[in-house]
Amino acid sequence: MKPFAYFRAESAEEAVDAFAGHERAQYLGGGTNLVDLMKLGVAAPDLLIDVSRLPLDGIEETPDGGLHIGATVRNSDLAAHPAVRTRYAALSQALLSGASGQLRNVATTGGNLLQRTRCTYFQDTSKPCNKRTPGTGCPARDGVHRDLAVLGHSEHCVATHPSDMAVALAALDATVHLSGPQGTRAVPVTGFHRLPGDRPDQDTVVRTGELITGVTLPPVLPGTQCGYRKARDRTSYAFALASVAAVLRVESGVVRDAALAFGGLAHVPWRGRAAEEVLRGAPATEETYARAADAELAAAEPLRDNGFKVPLARNLAISVLAELASRT
C-alpha cells in the first residue's frame, strides 16, 4: 500500500475544503470498498478525508411526506428504520440482500452509491482495464464475463454496477444531494451513474471534490406497494446476477402506476422505462408483467456466456410484480 495522509473532517464544509488542491484525495466512508481497493493497488489516494463521522447520520421526514437520509447513515440503520421498512420496503429489502451484517453495520449511504464495479479484471492490477487505466483495453469482453452487463454496455467496458441499494433508489425516484467547491446541487439517482460509453473510468456524474451529503425519497401515494428481488449464486454474501426493484399501484385490477429498476444487468441501476409504459393502464395480470419485462429486455445484448441473465431478470420482474399486485 502506498503512503497516504489521513484527515477526519468534523463538518461537510471542512471535508470539501480539505479536498481542495489535492489531485488524488478521496473521501472515506465505512471503507468497506475503498480500503479493499487500496490494498489491491487499484486505488492510491494521497489523502483520505474521513467523512464517516460527519453529522449526516439522520433519517428525517421531509415536509412533503418524503424522507431525507443523511450520507453517513449506516446501511443497517437505514434498512431497519420503521419508515423505510413500511413505506420504502424495496429499499430495506435491497439493503438486507447485500453484503453481510458486519459490512452493513459500517457501510454508509454515500459510500454504497459510489462503490466500484466487482469486475475481476478491474480489481487485478496485472490486467489491462479501461476503467482503471483508460485506453488499455477491456479483457472482460472476451474473457470471463458471466457476471457482467447485458444492457447499455460499450466496446470499452461491459462492467455492472454492484449496488443493490442504488437499484431500489432508482425505482423509488430518489435524489442525491451533493456539496462541492462550486456549491450544492441535487441529481436524480437515475441520472447519477453513467453508462460506460467511451469513458468507463467515469462511473458517475460526481465532480472532483463533491461530497454526497444525503439522499431524499419522494412521498409514496396511498395504495402503493414496493419490493426487491435478487438472484445470486448463493443466498447470502453475493452480488446480484440480476435483481429487480418494483413500485406498483393497482386499483380495480388495473395498474395505475409502476416503476421498475434492474440490477446486475448494466453499468448503472437500469430504470425500466419501456416496461413502465406497458404496465401503466394495463390489467394487473402476469401476461402484462411478461409483456412489460420483454419490452425492457428487448434491448439486451448478452455477451458470450451471460445470456442466462435475460430470462432470469424477466422471471424476477414477473414474480415481484405479481407478488406486489397480490397485496392490493
Ligand X SMILES: Cc1cc2nc3c(=O)[nH]c(=O)nc-3n(C[C@H](O)[C@H](O)[C@H](O)COP(=O)(O)OP(=O)(O)OC[C@H]3O[C@@H](n4cnc5c(N)ncnc54)[C@H](O)[C@@H]3O)c2cc1C
Binding site for ligand SF4 (CB under 6 A): 117, 119, 121-122, 129-131, 138-140, 148, 157-159, 200
What is the DSSP code string of 7-19? Answer: EE-SSHHHHHHHH
Q: Is 265 in the site for ligand X (CB under 6 A)?
A: no
What does the block give as the cell for 156? 470499452
Q: How many residues are there in the chain?
A: 328
Counting residues that bind ligand X (by CB under 6 A) gives: 33
Look at residue 288 and give its three-state secondary structure.
helix
| Residue type at 135 in one-letter notation | G
Task: For residue 192, state whether it binds ligand X (rule: CB under 6 A).
Answer: no
Q: Which is nearer to ligand X, 241 or 303 (CB)?
A: 241
Among 9, 16, 29, 78, contact with ligand X (rule: CB under 6 A): 29
**Position 70 contacts ligand X (CB under 6 A):** no
Min dist CB 276 to ligand X, Å, is 23
Sheet containing strand 67-70, strands side by side: 59-61, 67-70, 211-217, 175-180, 183-188
114 binds, among ligand SF4, ligand X, none (CB under 5 to 8 A by kind): ligand X
Q: Where are the beta strands (DSSP E) in the chain?
A: 5-8, 25-28, 47-50, 59-61, 67-70, 175-180, 183-188, 211-217, 224-231, 242-251, 254-263, 270-271
SS3 at position 121: coil
Could you give the maximum distance between any two Cα atoms of the chain, in Å? 63
Binding site partner of 158, from ligand SF4, ligand X, none, Cβ cut-off 5-8 A by kind: ligand SF4
Tell me the C-alpha to C-alpha distance, in Å, between residue 322 and each of 129, 269, 270, 316: 40, 22, 20, 10
If contact means CB under 5 to 8 A according to the sort of partner, which of ligand SF4, ligand X, none does residue 121 touch?
Answer: ligand SF4
Nearer to ligand SF4, 17 or 36 (CB): 36
Kindly tell me which of 192 and 239 has the beta carbon lying closer to ligand X.
239
- What is the smallest separation between the CB atom of 87 and ligand SF4, expressed in angstroms? 36
Q: What's the closest the beta carbon of residue 91 comes to ligand SF4, in angstroms?
A: 27
Minimum Å gap between C-beta 262 and ligand X is: 14
Which 8-state DSSP code applies to residue 141?
Answer: G
139 is a contact residue toward ligand X (CB under 6 A)? no
Of 69, 84, 92, 111, the one binding ligand X by CB under 6 A: 111
Shortest Å distance, C-beta 174 to ligand X? 15
Q: Name which of ligand SF4, ligand X, none residue 192 binds, using a CB cut-off of 5 to 8 Å depending on partner kind.
A: none
- CA neighbor of 188 nearest in space, from 210, 166, 203, 165: 166
Q: How far is the CB of 150 from ligand X (least distance, A)?
A: 18
User: Minimum distance from CB of 196 to ligand SF4 (Å)?
Assistant: 7
Q: How far apart are CA 14 and CA 271, in angstroms?
A: 35
Least separation in angstroms between CB 37 and ligand SF4? 12
3-class secondary-structure state, position 52 = coil
Q: Which residue is nearest to ligand X (CB)?
A: 111
Q: How far apart are CA 121 and CA 128, in angstroms?
A: 7
Q: Nearer to ligand X by C-beta: 120 or 285?
A: 120
**Dihedral angle computed from the Cα positions of residues 235, 236, 241 and 243, in that order, rounded to the nearest 10 degrees:** 90
| Binding interface with ligand X (CB under 6 A) | 26-34, 36, 51, 71, 75, 98-99, 103, 106-108, 110-112, 114-115, 162-165, 211-212, 237-239
